[in-house]
Amino acid sequence: MKQILMLVLTAIVVVSCSSTKTMGEQYPAMYEEKPVTIAIMPPINQTTHAEAKDYFYTTMYLPLCEKGYYVFSPYLTMEMFQQESAYDAENFLEGDLSIFRKVLGADAAMFTIIKNWKRNNVGGKLTVDVEYILRSTKTGQTLYTREGNIKVDTSVNGGSGGFGAIVGLIATAVNTAATDKVIAGRKCNAYVLTDLPAGKYSEFYEKDSKNPAGKKFVKATVK
């Protein structure tokens, strides 16, 4: 019986270890193509919050720069996107991206799909669901993709006792209402893009391929 138990435990360990991919294994195209420059496409908004698209668009620049990539300023590229009918990024999601390589010199284009943006003022939660897709402008293949369902916890502790609970409830509702799309977008980006391989201008460039990769779909609550 002990021998059988040991064999079962060993098998579980082997399976669990083998199922954990490295970043190099999960995103091989990133390490093959080695993109340096990224153009941020206007988000594809699948929610009823029309303003979420423009607000979230402004949050993508900094996290990609911090990852070591040269990122074209969204403000400077917006006019071009509008002229090329690229403001509706869904038209390019699976289409030819060579125009962005030719005009901008971008190696890759980052697409984002906003799937959910739900605010619960009383419960103190702002739920954001965004899918990130990085495509090569040279080959058209998907270099990186990950989706995050992130709950931003905006609850406030009003103290103990009945009065404190009421104060906390009111403060939570106000705080949640004040947590706008920019703040929520930044928190979602920061959490999900931790799994993006480092770019040329990062000290971790070509050093993270052996690091364990995260799940393609991540769900978490952040403060």
CA distance 138 to 124: 44
> CA 108 → CA 31, 150, 219, distances in Å?
13, 25, 26
Q: Is pTM, for the whole model, over 0.75?
A: yes
Rg of the Cα atoms in the chain: 21
pLDDT in tens, 179-191: 466 788 888 999 9
User: Could you read off the pLDDT tens digit of each residue along the chain, which spans 223 residues?
Assistant: 445 445 444 444 444 444 689 999 999 999 999 999 999 999 999 998 888 888 889 899 999 999 999 999 988 888 888 887 788 999 999 999 999 999 999 999 999 999 998 876 555 688 889 999 999 999 999 999 999 999 988 654 544 554 444 444 444 444 444 446 678 888 899 999 999 999 999 999 999 999 999 999 999 998 8
Residue recorded with tokens 């193509």: 33
What are the b/e assignments for 44-77, b being 16+ CB within 10 Å? Answer: bbeeeeeebbebbbebbbebbebbbbbbbebeeb
